[in-house]
Amino acid sequence: MSEEKRKPTPEEKAKAAAEAREKLEAARKAKEEQAAQASAPEAVASSPEQNAVKAEAEPASADQLAQAKAEAAAKAKAAAAAAAAAKAKAAREAAEGGATDTKAAETEAGGADADAKAKAAAAAKAKAAAAAAAAAKAKAAREAAEAGATETEAGGADADAKAKAAAAAKAKAAAAAAAAAKAKAAREAADGGAAETEAGGDDADAKAKAAAAAKAKAAAAAAAAAKAKAAREAGEGGAAGAEAGGDDADAKAKAIAAAKAKAAAAAAAKAKAAGGDAADTEAAPKAPSKNQPHLDHIVKLITEKFGSEVIEASYINELAKEVPTLVIKNENWHDVAKFLKENDELSFDYLSNLHGVDYEDRMEVYYHFYSYKNRQNLAVKVKTDREQPTVASVMNIWSGANWNERETYDLLGIYFPGHSELRRIMLPEEWVGHPLRKDYVPFDEEV
């Protein structure tokens, strides 16, 4: 998510471009070498399926893979940024790049050079995996792709080429899903495109060009669906690919062509099982958190006891390591808190953190609980009015709340009725105001 917002620095771009070029070189060499060894390709070709299987088997690792991909994407973007001037173009290029690779891969798989096969294999695997993991979410697909890439490497082509191939596979899936797929997918696609472009090597240009127009449109559409940011990233990715792809001046042209090729391949998911992936991806753009069942359970228990109106909201906080988060109605908070601790199935016996936040239109008190029995985290937020901020004290439920509530009172002025000695704790008794409130003005400016 964070990558969306960031713009690569010139240095990063330059660096990325340089890297891309190096990779391209390497890819070429690898191809030459592999061409010499006619026998190698077969082995490579066989591995993709295994990868796919693995990918399915280990959905747990999906996150890691996804992250790895995200990084790759980030780099690609940086590189692309060099070509930054034409963002829109870049987006298209990315799409094209992906397409090109796909084609190239397949073509080569037909038997020409080793790299091509490797890529093709990867792509094939990716698709197969995706298809197999039809139900599996976009992540699974991505993993499959990566797995394929990994094995491809094992097969012998150079690392870059493989990575790209894998990326390309993903990219296709993503592209297919394009509309639904978020920024990430777009990014990956871009990366993949770039990678493939490079991998595709010399012949990529020609093919890409040929494949061109139709795909470009598809890509553009996808980009449109994705956010503006995503588009930018994709563009960057494409650009990166373009640079890598071409020492020659027409890098962009090639990139565009490649991108189109990919997009076409993706869109025309017909080729291979990729179509299945795409469908799945669209259906479920994001995997539900592993904590979702816990959250559901907690919500269910509370609802059974107090009715549904005490929970103002419940969600998984993706930003905080997927902690289940509840927003509890202020009036019912003390009862719910007691329930959270005393219910056997919940038994949130440990109060890890308690503090307040001033949101200018309201105040919130944030609690972080942990259950040593169930080894489960829970965050609870209680909203309160800003003029007369009041939240029931939970000191008699968790003794550890004592000083934390005093601190919150001291710094934010939230009252905790039920607290046995709600005095200032950090600041002297005669202090005027509550410093962490957003409208706080020091009583004595000189101090």
Q: Tell which one of 37, 46, 388, 399 touches other proteins (CB under 8 A).
A: 399
Q: Are strands 376-384 and 323-328 parallel, antiparallel or unpaired?
A: parallel
Among 361, 387, 430, 439, binds other proteins (CB under 8 A): 430
Is residue 403 a contact residue for other proteins (CB under 8 A)? Answer: yes
Question: Which residues are paired to 327 by β-bridges?
Answer: 313, 381
User: Contact between 432 and other proteins (CB under 8 A)?
Assistant: no
Show contacts of 338-347: CB within 8 Å, 24+ apart: 338/397, 339/301, 339/302, 339/305, 339/306, 340/369, 340/378, 340/380, 341/397, 341/398, 343/301, 343/305, 345/297, 345/301, 345/374, 346/298, 346/301, 346/371, 346/374, 347/371, 347/373, 347/374
Q: Which CB sits closer to other proteins, 52 or 354?
A: 354
Please, which residues have CB within 8 angstroms of residue 437's CB and are 6 or more apart in sequence?
358, 412, 413
The answer to whether the CB of 240 falls within 8 A of the CB of 90 is no
Candidates 37-45, 49-57, 90-98, 347-355; binding stretch for other proteins (CB under 8 A): 347-355
Residue number, 146 or 358, with CB nearest to other proteins: 358
Residue of 427, 422, 424, 425 lying closest to 442 (CA atoms): 427
Q: Smaller CB distance to other proteins: residue 217 or 381?
A: 381
CB-nearer residue toward other proteins: 292 or 352 = 352
Give the residue, chosen from 37, 46, 50, 353, that forms a contact with other proteins under the rule CB under 8 A.
353
**Given the complex with other proteins, which of 113 and 143 has the nearer CB atom?**
143
For 393: left if phi > 0, alpha if psi spans -120 to 50, otherwise beta; the answer is beta
Cβ proximity to other proteins, 418 vs 435, nearer residue: 435
Q: Give residue 297's Cα distance to chain centre.
A: 26
Choice from 292, 303, 314, 352 touching other proteins (CB under 8 A): 352
Nearer to other proteins among residue 333 and residue 367 (C-beta): 367
Q: How many other C-beta atoms can be found within 10 angstroms of the C-beta atom of residue 71? A: 12
Map residue 398 onto helix, strand or coil. Answer: coil
Print the binding letters for residues 29-68 with other proteins: x by CB under 8 A, - otherwise.
--------------------------------------xx
Question: Minimum distance from CB of 371 to other proteins (Å)?
Answer: 10
User: How would DSSP label each residue in 202-230?
Assistant: HHHHHHHHHHHHHHHHHHHHHHHHS-HHH
- SS3 of residue 327 by DSSP: strand
Q: Which residues have C-beta within 8 Å of that of residue 281, sequence separation ≥ 6?
A: 130, 137, 138, 141, 173, 174, 176, 177, 180, 181, 185
Binding residue for other proteins, selected from 88, 320, 432, 443, defined by CB under 8 A? 320
Tell which one of 402, 409, 413, 422 touches other proteins (CB under 8 A). 402
Does residue 7 touch other proteins according to CB under 8 A? yes
| Site for other proteins contains 425 (CB under 8 A) | yes
Q: Of 7-15, 50-58, 153-161, 385-393, which segment contacts other proteins by CB under 8 A?
A: 7-15
201 in the Ramachandran plot: left (φ > 0), alpha (ψ -120 to 50) or beta?
Answer: left
Whether 127 contacts 67, CB under 8 Å: no
For residue 99, state whether it binds other proteins (rule: CB under 8 A): no
- Residue closer to other proteins, measured from CB, 332 or 404: 404
| 368 scored as a contact of other proteins (CB under 8 A) | yes
How many residues at the interface with other proteins, by CB under 8 A? Answer: 55
Question: Is 251 a binder of other proteins (CB under 8 A)?
Answer: no
| CA–CA distance, 26 with 192 (Å, rounded to integer) | 17
Under 8 Å between Cβ of 258 and 208: yes
Residue 426 interacts with other proteins (CB under 8 A)?
yes
Tokens representing residue 5 in the block = 């917002």
In angstroms, give the least distance from the CB of 226 to other proteins.
17
The distance of closest approach from Cβ of residue 324 to other proteins in the complex, given in angstroms and rounded to an integer, is: 12
Closer CB to other proteins, residue 21 or residue 424?
424
Nearer to other proteins, 4 or 49 (CB): 4
374 touching other proteins, by CB under 8 A = no
Give the whole-angstrom CA distance, residue 266 versus residue 178. Answer: 9
CA gap 72, 405 in Å, rounded: 45
84 touches 249 (CB < 8 A): no
Interface residue with other proteins, options 304, 429, 445, 446 (CB under 8 A): 429
Smallest separation (angstroms) from other proteins to the CB of 60: 13
Contacts to other proteins by CB under 8 A: 1-3, 5-7, 9, 12, 67-68, 70-71, 74-75, 78, 317-321, 323, 349-353, 355, 357-359, 366, 368, 372, 375, 379, 398-404, 407, 411, 421, 423-430, 435-436
